Amino acid sequence: MTATTADHGHTHSHHHEPHWAIKYLWSTDHKMIGMQYLFTGMAMALIGGYFAYAFRMQIVFPGEHVPTWGIVTPAEYNQFITGHGTIMIFWVAMPVLVAAFGNFLIPLMIGCDDMVFPRINRLSYQIFLLSAIVLIASFLVPGGGFGGAWTAYTPLSAVPEYNLTPLGATLWVIAVALEFIAFLLGGVNFIVTTMNARAPGMKYNDIPIVVWMIVLASILFMASVGPLIAGAIMLLFDQNLGTHFFDPAHGGDPLLWQHLFWFFGHPEVYVVLFPALGIVAEIITVFSRKKLFAYKMVLYTAIATGVLSFFVWAHHQFIAGIDPRMANVFTATTVIISIPIAELCFVYVATLYGGSIKFTVPMLWALAFMVEFLIGGVTGIFLGASGADIYFHDTYFVLAHFHYTFFPIAIIGTFAGLTYWFPKMFGRHLNETWGKIHFWGTILPFNGIFIPLFFTGLLGDHRRIYSYEHFPDLNTEWLQSLRMLATVSAIMMFAFQVPFLINFVMSAIRGKKADKNPFKSNTLEWTADSPPPHGNFPVLPTVYRGPYEYSHPDREDDYWPQDEPPKKGSASLAPATEAAE
Amino acid sequence: MSAYTRPIATGRTVTGMSTAKLAVWWIIVSEVVIFGGVLASYIMHRIGHPEWQHSAAHTNMWIGAFNTFVLLSSSLSAVLAHAAAERGDGALAARRLVYTIGGAVMFLCVKAYEWTTEISAGFTITASGFWSFYYTAAGIHAAHVFAGAIIMGFIAVAAKRNQDLHRVEIIGIYWHFVDLVWIFLFPLLYIAK
């Protein structure tokens, strides 16, 4: 952290150095807020990961003492699976992929000095931090944390007599609602900053894809979360005021919650997918020294996917008693949405084709993202078909499928971005050898966890089962050995995060010093110092070309920074410089 | 607290629209889907529960109509405040914003009277599905009226000193949105019997 603020003597610091608490906790600097989101997200990931460890241990050693926790009771088991899902999606994937990378990258990559609303940005993080504290508090209140799964289906979540966690369930809803408010504030900032504060000369087609993707994700989030905010208010009233919006015993409708939840919940998949796709696009162009294949098509495809994502939500409800005719419609839309995503995979492969590929750590993560996400996408087609889904629904097949989408997004995508921008964030290089050890130590066990779970799911393993000892059909030696393989792989994967954390801290403090542009990239953030000082650029840059001009035939260098002025005499579209500066 | 200096980014207007105005439109986008979610849920259930009309029969259309009138009038003074701010007359803009705040206060007082009457008559939020939606939808709207009035108070104080006059228009846009939501709520909750 100290490295990020070594910015003495620049033009903005005419007032003396602020108190550390103000510098780290009350900062309006987009880079510091990005770091706050990043480190909060990483801390929450440790909690979410620990929960996964505890419930995987319970599954393979039912009723036995779990090291560092003890006996996992049924209520605790439910609390762990609920907490794991909630934390990993709302307090890890969202804050790290959208908020941390969005905050750090957007002003740097579009060439301005900060977000357009720095104080709203600070408020966004503070509300987010509050939401994380409320969530953690919900595990500790009398009655324990909420155990009704991260989807919080009603009436289980709505009626205290059913869920037996009156306080935990209420705090869960409040935490989620606060988190939504934090990301709405952040999202307005991202969208308006990108629309209004781009460097002179940066046209829509000159915006790096990762910025586009984060902005599209913010728009998707904003357009989909509203009904769930309304639903959260209604759920709070059901829990605490005695209304019956969702309780069928008193004329309410439990399906209403499912619609409100998944109307948000499905676009949410793309909210976190888009930033990861953007990060991968940046990395594969830099480390294959190739122009991104079909920039505009990537952009339009992402927009089309975003629009389509609003019409697929009911594929989560095929066995919830919805009209079969409606199920047919949602089967069609769900299968259609795999087309643009498949197209993006081909576009990325086309970008790599014929490039001079360097297998650096970020590149390994980016390539792993493409491979692993592909498995997630292909298995999704089985679930999108309503007929097949009737069998697969709520089995470990579903679980393995969405971990093959969310893990590449939230973990692989994050590691790709973190290792790529590490020199810019901390001014030092990450140790490559340890980076590669961590990469293989994460990727191999990841497949070891979830490939067996596809098979247990196919063989009938239902999700969220406390102990398979009570199900003779499922309590076979073969199934148990597959479960064991998954658990052992999970523990290996968790163990390999220790070298990462050590490497991360050691490299940030003592790694090799990085210059401004260590990977010879084109985008504007690499023209700022590493790490960038407050205000980012000594002189705010002007943009002359798109972000992916690698290996241009007319140039000796194999890259062409966006802000490098064209040679005098050459026909160029030199934009007018900013009048205000 | 360290001194805050507005970044250069805030003053940039690549779209040709001021940053603040662009932001308030996006906030309205996010609000449209929040109210959209409530109202779509309500409409679907209202269609599915014909018996709710017996509850709806007890709402007071005339009080609702009066509040519609109050809110629309308050929007008029918000427009006039914007006109004054455009001319650079901060004091007049502030006075007209105070009229709008007065409208908001009047709206909330009428609402308080109306709800007190209904609750004393036994029509509480748990009385039926209709009343649950009635209090939830109108309550979320009332919270927006309340919040808007407070923000307007801050803007009026600044406008009086001729500071940040562009904000008069921004709060006006928001206020029209709050109005518009009521235009949907009034027929759905009061007129549809």
* 3-class DSSP state of A207: coil
pLDDT band for A21, please (50, 70, 90 cuts): confident
CB pairs under 8 A between A and B: 142
Residue B126 and residue A260: Cβ atoms within 8 Å? no
Residue A256 and residue B41: Cβ atoms within 8 Å? yes
> In degrees, to the nearest 5, what angle opens at C-alpha A126 toward C-alphas A124 and A127?
65
Nearest-CA residue of chain B relative to A251? B129
Task: Determine contact, residues A401/A322, Cβ cutoff 8 Å.
Answer: no
Q: Exposed, middle or buried: residue B120 (CB in 10 Å: 0-12, 13-18, 19+)?
A: exposed
Looking at the domain assignment, is residue A119 inside a domain?
yes
Residue A251 in this model has a pLDDT that exceeds 90: no
Looking at the domain assignment, is residue A535 inside a domain?
no
Looking at the domain assignment, is residue A209 inside a domain?
yes
Looking at the domain assignment, is residue A139 inside a domain?
yes
Looking at the domain assignment, is residue A545 inside a domain?
no
Residue from A263, A223, A283, A275 nearest A93 by CA: A275
Residue A17 in this model has a pLDDT that exceeds 80: no
Q: What is the pLDDT at residue A570?
A: 54
How far apart (Å, rounded) are the C-alpha atoms in residues A245 and B37? Answer: 13
Domain that holds residue A309: 30-527
pLDDT tens across A154-194, in order? 999 999 999 999 999 999 999 999 999 999 999 999 999 99
Residue B4 and residue A118: Cβ atoms within 8 Å? yes
Nearest-CA residue of chain A relative to B21? A192
How far apart (Å, rounded) are the C-alpha atoms in residues A192 and A222? Answer: 13
Cα-Cα-Cα-Cα torsion A384, A387, A391, A392, nearest 10 degrees, comes to: -10
Looking at the domain assignment, is residue A22 inside a domain?
no
Phi-psi region of A27 (alpha: psi -120 to 50; beta: other; left: phi over 0): beta
How far apart (Å, rounded) are the C-alpha atoms in residues B172 and A335? Answer: 44
Residue A574 in this model has a pLDDT that exceeds 80: no
Residue A10 in this model has a pLDDT that exceeds 60: no
**What is the rounded average pLDDT of the residues B131-139?**
97
Looking at the domain assignment, is residue A338 inside a domain?
yes
Residue A222 and residue B30: Cβ atoms within 8 Å? yes
How many other C-beta atoms can be found within 10 angstroms of the C-beta atom of residue A119? 11
CATH number of the domain bearing residue A105: 1.20.210.10
pLDDT band for A322, please (50, 70, 90 cuts): confident
Most A CBs within 10 A among B33, B131, B134, B167, hence the mutation to make, goes to B33
A70 CB-near residues (< 8 Å, 6+ apart): none
Structure tokens at B145: 């009226």
Looking at the domain assignment, is residue A21 inside a domain?
no
How far apart (Å, rounded) are the C-alpha atoms in residues B46 and B192? Answer: 10
Residues of A in contact with B27 (CB under 8 A): 184, 188
Residue A489 in this model has a pLDDT that exceeds 90: yes
pLDDT tens across A199-224, in order? 999 999 999 999 999 999 999 999 99
Total number of domains constituting chain A:
1
How far apart (Å, rounded) are the C-alpha atoms in residues A74 and A63? Answer: 9
Residue A222 and residue B13: Cβ atoms within 8 Å? no
